[in-house]
């Protein structure tokens, strides 16, 4: 391989890494509300299994 091929492969890898970071930057973080409304009915979030407080419902936008 010459330097142009190596440079192109590095450019391609950097582009794929950048796209991955844009789409999956919060994949490892906390789960966000999907606004299903179950937490207001049961008081427990179906995604995390944790009890939801009144302030959490307001922050999640639950109705």
Rounded to whole angstroms, how far apart are CA atoms 55 and 16? Answer: 39
Q: Please tell me whether residues 46 and 62 are part of one structural domain.
A: yes
Q: Please tell me whether residues 20 and 3 are part of one structural domain.
A: yes
- Eight-class DSSP state of 25: T
List the domain range (segments joined by +) for residue 3.
1-28
- pLDDT of res. 62: 47
Q: Please tell me whether residues 18 and 35 are part of one structural domain.
A: no
pLDDT tens string, the chain, 63 residues long: the values are 799 999 999 999 999 999 888 887 766 656 677 788 888 888 888 888 888 876 544 444 544
Structure tokens at 9: 């492969």
How many folded domains does the chain comprise? 2
Structure tokens at 12: 């391609």
Which residues lie closer than 8 Å to 48 by C-beta, 6 or more apart?
31
């Amino acid at each position: 391989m010459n330097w142009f091929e190596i440079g192109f492969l590095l450019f391609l890898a950097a582009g794929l890494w950048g796209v991955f970071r844009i789409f999956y930057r919060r994949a490892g973080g906390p789960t966000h509300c999907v606004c299903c409304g179950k937490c207001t009915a049961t008081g427990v979030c179906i995604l995390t299994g944790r009890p939801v407080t009144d302030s959490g419902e307001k922050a999640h936008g639950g109705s």
